[in-house]
Structure 1
């Protein structure tokens, strides 16, 4: 692309030089309103003005006031708009200088042919509500400030200008007409929205605010390309705000921002080229969400490969080691900038995208040289992406660890544990008790006494021993022992009371009437259901605790499971140790801000 532009501007320079030698000079002094009148009334195919000093003095030339940037702007707008300025010839200005102490604004002018400005001096002003239907070119000019508000462009080219501030606000850029110049031929290719670039000069500030860059609709060569807008060279400040690049490519070529670089609330539909970009880490404000997910790329500005972004996403691109390292360098510049600003959210997102590219390179290297070391490097990287987003998301690693704990807990649920001892034998034993309960005169409290008789007897023996030795013991020891017995026996008294009140089977089942059988069947079904739910929750809780204990490698002496589940517990312990180690490193890296 640069070769194209250099050859193109060589032709322009020759034409300009020829015009400079052969064109008849205009008057040496011309005031602004007369300049506009001459341009709009020109009936020739080209309006040429060279080596002229344009004055702006509304005290002498009253019509000049309509192009003043101060005062009653709404009134000036209405005056100029009523004049319906239409320019039907090409406009060529060379070596034209303006008064530098007053600000001018050209308003409501429709340029139906190309506008070319070469070596303009001391311009301070702008264009408001103007339409450049065949494009605008400004080259090698010395401009204090120039702005374009509510303007429409069919291609722009700003090259090697020394400008204080260049501003585009609420303007649109499109290509829907072929730009053919009598002097220059085809000015722009049909996908060139614009270029703002300097080789030796400096633009102090570039502002693009609330601008819309249109989708390509002009196809004279190929429909494979999108519209492009390129910014390159040296700038002090660059601000892009609330602009729409959804349908066009934005790219920078050796962009060097010396002070403030700000991009916010804009939309980018295609990867952004950052070839040779440089910016200050502590004074750059670039919302990373605008370019996350692989929208940082390199573009070859010297060929039609410009439209194929280098994203390091194919084997062919990954084999290009030079561009791979350059792309990694661009990501590192953004990453270090976000770290310097303390924007860890953007830094983490940028780091993840950077590691994604490195993982692609590892996959490519493994495909070329399948060694064990490359294999582990590749799949460890892939695992780190899955588990903790390359160490940037410790919360994600905790969530995945929790899912793993649940998975192993489900496995343990179906295997015997010495903690609850629930298995088929236990269930058969409980079922037999129900059989005895329904076919004999035994009551619920009888089953309770059988199960707890040994413990209750030991409590009673303890009570008797205290009573027998009362006179042989210190008073405080005896007084402390009595509450111990009472608290211990209270639990069993309450349970026994509960069983007595819960009794519903008085006699054998066969002796009940049909109505009583239905009622008691419902009660029995409810009891079995609640008891089954209790056993289920008990087993689930024990399985979960076992899984947590195993995963966290806290240790519990002998493993309370047998057979296959014992070996699974050992494997889970190793997995837990490995994952918790990675979680710890991830957490520490975030605490230390990577």
Structure 2
């Protein structure tokens, strides 16, 4: 009898423990309206929501639209981390206003934000259920950070200041798309004071892990006294049209299947470990930028902190011209561009590229002759 009682009590204990454990593992649940209501009414400088589930239905979406129309200034810094969205009805499908044949899915519509001003940083990361984000006519006064989002669209006169980081879905790279259009990025970016050829990777203007990046009518402005960079990392296809990008575009570890730049301007183009497409998928006239620059990653210690950085190579100073390996790598990029221009029949760009390459080769030859007057070339 006693043995049976002990067995029953033990079973009850284990059952209760399992139920308690399952409850403790469940994510807290709030409604979509409650989330935005908390953000709008927050008196703190930071709004953090993590490890939670947000329930969305037609009613909460309409209430959120009304709430945000009355409160377009978002004051706290927002971070959503490991937040899942659960959809309770099918009322979230609408047609894109520019392409009636493209239908937003539920997640896209839920995270389609229009006409808002974020006074502090907006940070959305590691949210498995968020596949698509769309911002229209939004202002980000202190930076925007989106991590592991499959599709991102920013447009309709949006303005981004003080930093931008956007990464797609590395596991589904070819299905990840980034579109930037009719918008402006204002970027004061810091530079390492120890080495003028080294720029911190904390410049925080990064686009990475996207199969396709499309840019149209984008204006990027920067402090003229600082070296700035727009970093493309691990992308396959790039199309830039009618954009004025007043910074150097950096391409790091990319295998380009499409590289088309039309009617746009850059400071320079900077490369590290880049493979280019064939001539049919390459269009980038030489008059859209000043020069090609070689770069490589390095680590630098400053103020007790370790930074990952780019070391830039121009092949201008004697110390640079003495670096044979880097010189050869830079000339290889010039030669690749020259080949592509010739194959495309772009004689004007081919001539300009060849002249720039010959200037570097002449500088290298003069340096070698000064170092060793008897050197035969």
The verdict on how the C-alpha distance between 1:177 and 1:236 changes in structure 2, with shifts beyond 3 A counting, is closer
Aligned with 1:92 (options 79, 86, 96): 79
Q: 2:270 aligns with which of 270, 273, 289?
A: 273
Unaligned regions of 5+ residues in structure 2, if any? 1-24, 88-103, 191-199, 301-307
Deviations 1:16-45 (A, max 9, x none): xxxxxxxx99743533x4433332222233
- SS in structure 1 of the partner of residue 39 of structure 2: helix
Cα root mean square deviation, aligned: 3.3
In structure 2, distance between residues paired with 1:55 and 1:151? 28
Q: CA deviation at 1:193?
A: 5.3
Whether 1:171 aligns to 2:200 is no
Per-residue CA shift, 1:354-383, capped at 9, x if unaligned?
A: 222222211111112223844xxxxxxxxx
Alignment CA distance shift 1:41-1:177 (3 Å): farther
How far off is 1:310 after superposition? Answer: 1.9
1:203 and 2:217 are equivalent in the alignment: no
Q: Report the Cα distance in structure 1 between the residues aligned to 2:83 and 2:57, rounded to whole angstroms.
A: 17
Structure 1 distance, partners of 2:332, 2:312, is: 16
Q: Is the 8 A contact 2:72 2:116 kept in 1?
A: yes
Alignment correspondent of 1:36: 36
Say how many residue pairs are matched.
Answer: 311
1:281–1:341: 8 Å Cα contact kept in structure 2?
Answer: no
Structure 1 residue runs of 4+, over 6 Å off? 304-308
1:28-427 correspondence runs (5 A) = 28=29, 30-31=31-32, 33-58=33-58, 60-61=59-60, 63=62, 66=65, 82-98=69-85, 101-102=105-106, 103-104=108-109, 105-121=112-128, 122-139=130-147, 141-153=148-160, 154-159=162-167, 161-162=169-170, 164-175=176-187, 192=203, 194-197=205-208, 202-216=209-223, 225-232=226-233, 234-246=234-246, 248-257=247-256, 259-268=257-266, 270-282=267-279, 283-291=281-289, 295-302=291-298, 309-371=312-374, 373-374=376-377
Correspondence for 1:220: none
Q: Distance in 2 between matches of 1:57 and 1:237?
A: 36
Q: Distance in 1 between matches of 2:178 and 2:67?
A: 24
Instruction: Identify if the C-alpha distance between structure 1 residues 81 and 57 changes in structure 2 by more than 3 Å, giving closer, same or farther.
Output: closer
Pick closer, same or farther for the CA change 1:177–1:277 going to 2, 3 Å. closer
- Which protein is richer in strand relative to its size? 2
Larger Rg: 1
Q: In 1, Cα distance between the equivalents of 2:376 and 2:50?
A: 70
Q: Distance in 1 between matches of 2:316 and 2:232?
A: 25
- Residue 296 of structure 1, CA deviation: 0.7
Residues 286-336 of structure 1, C-alpha deviations (whole Å, 9 max, x = no match): 1221135xx111234435797874221221111011110110111122122
TM-score by length of 2: 0.72
Go from structure 1 to structure 2 and tell me whether the alpha carbon gap of 1:96 and 1:306 turns closer, same or farther (over 3 Å shift): closer
Unaligned runs of 5+ in 1: 1-23, 67-78, 179-188, 218-223, 375-594
Higher helix share: 1
TM-score, normalised on structure 1?
A: 0.47
Q: The residue matched to 2:348 in structure 1 has which SS?
A: helix
Whole-angstrom distance in 1 between the partners of 2:325 and 2:210: 30
